[in-house]
Amino acid sequence: MKKAYFVICAILLAGLGVFYAFSSSDLELKLGDTEIKKGTFQESLFAAEPQRRAKQRDVPLPPRKKSGKAEMDTTKKTILFIGDSMVECLFPRMSAYAKHNGHKLYCVVWYSSTTEVYGTRTTLKDYIKKYNPDYILITLGGNELFIRDIRQKRQKYVDELLRQMGNIPFVWIGPPNWKDDTGINDMINESVPPGCFYLSYTPDQHYERKKDGAHPKANSSKLWMDRICKWIMTQSAHPIRLVAPPAGETARPTKLELLQPLR
Amino acid sequence: MTFDISTLFQNIWSMLGYDPNNPLIFNSGLFWVLFLFFLPIYGMLKSRRTQMMIFVVAFSLYFFYKSSGLYFLLLVATSLIDWFIAKQIKQEPTVKMRRFWLTVSIVLSVGTLGFFKYSNFVIANLNDLLHNNFQPLDLLAPLGISFYTFRTISYVVDVYKGKIEPTGNWLDYLFYLSFFPVLAMGPIVRASHFLPQLKENKKPTKSMVYSGFWQALLGVIKKAIFADYFGQYTTIAFGSADGYSGFELAMATMGFAMQIYCDFSGYSDMAIGLGRMMGFDLGINFDFPYRSLNVTEFWKRWHISLSSWLMDYVYIPLGGNRRGKPRQYFNLMATMLIGGLWHGAAWNFVVWGGVHGVALCIHKMTKKPLDRLFPSDNKLVIFCCWLITFIYSAFAMMLLTADMSTAWTVITKSFTDFDLAYLVPFFTARKMWCYLIIIIFALHFVPKKVYNLLSALFVKSHWAVKLVVFIIVVQLVIQFSSEEVQPFIYGQF
């Protein structure tokens, strides 16, 4: 028995050592196309992060500029376009905009994600750290259109995402509803500073849907992105140069990351 | 990153302290680090029974404290009271007094459980009924109260019935009631099964230790890889059921059935594995439930320790099948409704119990005529029985997570808005999810001897092989896991 216990302890200790060493090294391992993830062993022990995260909810939101007739920032931007599967609809056209206007565009599509999925994780913050964007486009809410007591259930996650974005200028693209929601659009609109929310559900916006009934078809997605970009240039709190490229112009984003649903 | 010793101590202190949001669950790194310290000390003390018991009880109470704070004193008090009552029952010469003590024990146990678990449910229903505004109580149900209450009831009842002798000293009973592998979420191991093993205090064999470790690793895989992965889709789909098609909701329902199986049987595997590593046989709690061909069989394979408890301490005392058919159906319904209410203080749990009760009654009523009508060795008949049982149990399981209106939406849309055209887009968007569902289904139909063979191979393997297996499992968990460890579903019950 004692020998068996010794072996088990040795295995646990050796395993812990391996994962600790891996998590604290700069080594990046891949298996085919799959990145071997690191655990948080080292961070859990030595980072002051846990305490900061625990207290994070009491930290006030970062101050933002008031909207108004803000001057357009014509410099080339590094844009992080992140959110749920709606990003997949929008990024092809947005890539053309980025190319046409000289911006870098990093896209992260997390299928089936929600404000809760992002808001209970540091994924957004991690991508901000990874790509160091100076402009963020975020689209979330399409999977939360019909949740009851939405403010009670989701407000904290929206606030958390705003905290994670800090002072980086952003535009939150509201979901393109196919019918009335239970308040997600209002909630996000009231949570973000003026000029940072694009409402995609207005009487003058009609998008043809794919078979799932939710996602706009390719042509409609183009129109949607065109409207968003025009709005960013003319009405948002942080206008940047997004001159429309020719209709047929295509481009790829600087990098596209697809996150599988449910992770 | 700097290696600040004070930060290290601060982090360790904050990890070890009372935190109701972070219980010491078996698939967390913290538990295994603590177990690394626990195991050698346990090994050293094993032959010195009293010292070993004091050590394990202290660890178990800490395990309880970590998530429930000072409520661990409630567990201590429960064990003391029921140990005392069991001794009284044994000593009392008259049936009347023995029955009195039994009643006191059951009232106290059920009363405590009812207070912590059902007070706010009662208040909410009273408010609805009387249009009143009684304020809900600020209560946090102590860890595993539903499980240890059933264990302590079974001990006292078994002593009353003369099936077992009361323990000679309180420490034995506290050890049984607080034993950390089964404390939070079972299995609801009976005193009659556990206490003789404690008395004997056999040293675990090498084979027990390694096969226990193997089973615990399997449990980690089920919970941290499969259940948590399935869970994120079901959470989203059931969270906004109106926005999903019937096909997607049916998939979510099947996903939840698999999720709750992997979640709870994974936990049970970890608990049973840890128990075996310590030299205790805790029985089995799941026996491939989705292989079942009817609901009665399902309940012989699903949460076996609960279903057998309900059978022995509710169904049979109510009269079982000894008082005619109508009474049997009533007893079945009552038992399953109690079982449903045990799972949680909400109407969906009661309905869940009722739905299973109805199914059991229908099965009992129709078994004989159906057996005559359809040959039981016909493969098509077997397949249809399996399919009906699976679909029924999957939709019933959904009631354990969805409120009544969501459940109704899911059921109606699944049957009125089901379009197979969604299959390909669904598979394309959720390949990994589909693969994992297929794997879990397939694993259900692998013969048991294959699992036994794998376990035997692991037991006999070189330590280096075991280490590699351990590292692969942990890496898979990291690879698949969300950044926050998901709580166990049954921990909420």
pLDDT tens digits along B421-443:
888 888 887 888 899 999 999 99
Confidence class for position B230, pLDDT limits 50, 70, 90: confident
> Which residue among A8, A122, A212 sits closest to B213, beta carbon to beta carbon?
A8
Asked if B401 contacts B197 with a C-beta cutoff of 8 angstroms, the reply is no
> DSSP class of residue B141?
P
> DSSP secondary-structure letter at B289?
G
Peptide bond into B187 cis (omega under 30): yes
Using a CB–CB cutoff of 8 Å, tell me whether B422 touches chain A.
yes
d(CA A203, CA A130): 38
Contact assignment for B210 to A5 by CB distance below 8 Å:
no
To the nearest whole percent, how much of chain B has pLDDT over 90? 64
Would you state the pLDDT for residue A52?
Answer: 37
Q: Which helix (H) or strand (E) holds B73?
A: helix B72-91
Structural domains for chain A: 2-53 (no CATH), 78-259 (3.40.50.1110)
Answer whether residue A62 shows pLDDT above 50: no
Q: Which residue in chain B is spatially nearest to A26 when comparing CA positions? A: B1
**Cβ-based burial of B475 (10 A; exposed 0-12, middle 13-18, buried ≥19):** buried
Three-state SS for B482? coil
For the segment A5-35, what is each residue's pLDDT rounded down to a tens digit?
999 999 999 998 898 888 777 777 877 777 7
Across A134-155, average pLDDT: 88
A67 pLDDT exceeds 50? no
pLDDT score, position A50:
37
Is the Cβ pair B1, A213 closer than 8 Å?
no
**DSSP code for B34:** H
Q: Which residues of A touch B42 (CB under 8 A)?
A: 5
Q: What is the 3-state secondary structure (H, E, C) of chain A?
A: CHHHHHHHHHHHHHHHHHHHHHHHCCCCCEECCEECCCCCHHHHHHCCHHHHHHHHCCCCCCCCCCCCCCCCECCCCEEEEEECCHHHHHHHHHHHHHHHHCCEEEEEEECCCCHHHHHCCCHHHHHHHHHCCCEEEEECCCCCCCCCCHHHHHHHHHHHHHHHHCCCCEEEECCCCCCCCCCHHHHHHHHCCCCCEECCCCCCCCCCECCCCCCECHHHHHHHHHHHHHHHHHCCCCCECCCCCCCCCCCCCCEEEEECCCC
If you average pLDDT over every residue of chain B, what do you get? 89
Phi, psi of A73 (to 5 degrees): -90, 110
What pLDDT is recorded for position A41?
66
What is the sign of the dihedral through the CA atoms of B442, B447, B448 and B449?
A: negative
Q: Which residue has the tokens 């700069």?
A: A26
Q: Which residue of B has its CA nearest to A260?
A: B430
What pLDDT score was predicted for residue A234?
87
Q: Return the HEC string of A95-126.
A: HHHHHHHCCEEEEEEECCCCHHHHHCCCHHHH
Q: How high is the pLDDT of residue A56?
A: 37
Beta bridge partners of A79: A105, A135
Beta carbons within 10 angstroms of residue A142's beta carbon: 27
Residue A121 has pLDDT above 60, yes or no: yes
Picking from B232, B240, B279, the nearest residue to A263 by CB comes out as: B232
Q: Is there a contact between B429 and A146 if contact means CB atoms under 8 Å apart?
A: no
Across A200-209, B305-314, B343-352, least confident range: A200-209
Closest chain A residue to B239, measured at CA: A147
Q: How far is CA A31 from each of CA A37, B229, B479, rounded to the nearest angstrom? A: 10, 20, 12
Distance from CA of A30 to the nearest CA of B (A): 12
Are residues A1 and B209, on separate chains, in Cβ contact within 8 Å? Answer: yes
pLDDT tens, position by position, B31-40: 888 999 999 9
Look at A177 and B190; give whichever has higher pLDDT: B190
- Other Cβ atoms closer than 10 A to A32: 5
List, for residues B376-389, the tens digit of each pLDDT value.
Answer: 788 899 999 999 99
Give the full edge-to-edge strand order of the sheet including A170-173.
Answer: A197-198, A170-173, A135-139, A78-83, A104-110, A255-259
Q: B11 and A44 in contact (C-beta within 8 Å)?
A: yes
In the prediction, which pLDDT does A82 show? 96
- Spatial distance between the Cα atoms of A43 and A39, rounded to a whole number of angstroms: 9
The residues with which B221 forms a beta bridge, in sequence order, are none
- The verdict on whether B343 is a catalytic residue reads yes
Q: Is the pTM here over 0.95, yes or no? A: no
CA–CA dist A113, A263 (Å, integer): 9
Chain A residues inside the 8 Å CB shell of B206: 1, 3-4
- Name residue A111's amino acid: Y
* H or E element that contains B49: helix B49-68
